[in-house]
Amino acid sequence: MNRMRLSLTQRKSLLGVVFILPWLLGFIFLFASPLIQSIKFSFNSLNVVPTGYELKFVGWLNFKEALFIDANFNRILTESVIEMIVNVPLILFFSLFSATLLNQKFRGRALARAIFFLPVILASGAISAAEASGLINLIGDATVAQEFGETSSQFNVLSMVMLLNEAGLPIAFTDYIVDAVLRIYEIISSSGVQIIIFLAALQSVPTSMYEVAKMEGATAYESFWKITFPMVSPLLLTNIIFTIIDSFSDSSITQTIYSTAFQTQNFGLSAAMSWLYTLVVSAILVIIGIMVSKRVFYYD
């Protein structure tokens, strides 16, 4: 009996299905039911009763209240989107720059990589919960480090502004650079995962490409833009999507949705806000994904 042989494309597709299977099973058994329930809540008014809760259908009223009646939702959502647009390029640039440095061969490379990922661990919810419960006691935790970074980063900002202005840079660009320097701790703490992803991409680049480029007389600058950057571009798209989603995970809009549900007990309005926020993030991801994917280079 002849076995059915799969083509290379079919085997790659099957391997992709195997990789996403844990997420798919988790989504079906853990997230699908709450997701459907939130859709139901967004079109109803929820009242808590002794036996549980009662739903009263109100149609699009919750969405109208979020968009046209609530005084803060539109402003907070707009500010969150603008903050994301500002932060994502900074985080990606710092992550790729750091990953390129950490990919070089030098003594203590493993320790340097751990240090760059340390702010992610300190800023994680697990560390905060353990510290709040008394399981651990960190001296100089992430909050203290952030306050210290904000204080120390004020040093010599005026000189930096004068230097950039004398270089002929536009005022908007100067403000962008200064703002990045003032928020350096926030950028570092948000770049740990991206650095690891870029490191994996850099280590997968064949060394023979760099050897051939060096034999042809290419400089390090030319090798980066002609070899390194195109080869890591698929994971650049991955990091962009991850950073956009991560930027909204603990933003002011998320806190507003949470407080609307559990402080004001307006679960229907909170669900409507959640879906409006989801639609906005999805639209941003689709637009950026289409724009970036056209310039992604896939090496076979």
Per-residue pLDDT of the chain (300 residues; tens, 9 = 90+): 456 677 888 888 888 889 999 999 999 999 899 899 999 999 998 887 888 888 889 999 999 999 998 888 999 999 888 888 888 888 999 889 888 888 888 787 777 777 777 766 665 555 555 555 555 555 445 455 455 455 544 446 677 667 777 777 777 777 777 777 777 777 877 888 888 889 888 988 888 888 888 898 888 888 888 888 888 888 888 899 999 888 887 788 888 998 988 888 889 999 999 999 999 999 999 998 888 888 887 766
Alpha carbons 274 and 266: distance in angstroms, whole number: 12
Q: Does 69 reside within a domain?
A: yes
pLDDT of residue 283: 93
CATH code of residue 179 = 1.10.3720.10
Whole-number pLDDT of residue 105: 80
Q: What pLDDT, on a 0 to 100 scale, did the predictor assign at position 295?
A: 81
User: Is 2 inside any structural domain?
Assistant: no
The answer to whether residue 210 sits within a structural domain is yes
- Kindly state whether residue 299 falls inside one of the protein's structural domains: no
CA–CA separation, 202 and 209 (whole Å): 12
How far apart, in whole angstroms, are the C-alpha atoms of residue 92 and residue 97? Answer: 8
Q: How many domains does the chain have?
A: 1
Q: Is there a contact between 67 and 291 (Cβ–Cβ < 8 Å)?
A: no
Q: What is the pLDDT of residue 271?
A: 92
Q: d(Cα 273, Cα 42) in Å, to the nearest integer?
A: 8
| Amino acid identity, position 11 | R
Q: Is residue 35 part of a domain?
A: no
Beta bridge partners of 45: 56
Asked if residue 29 is part of any domain, the answer here is no
Return the pLDDT at 120: 63
**Can you give the C-alpha Rg of the chain in angstroms?**
24
Does residue 185 sit within a domain? Answer: yes
pTM: 0.74
Own/partner contacts of 263-269, CB < 8 Å, gap of 24 or more, are: 265/48, 267/41, 267/46, 267/53, 268/41, 268/42, 268/43, 268/44, 268/45, 268/46, 268/58, 268/62, 269/62, 269/65, 269/66, 269/70
Query: Does residue 228 fall inside a structural domain?
Result: yes
Range of the domain at 109: 40-293
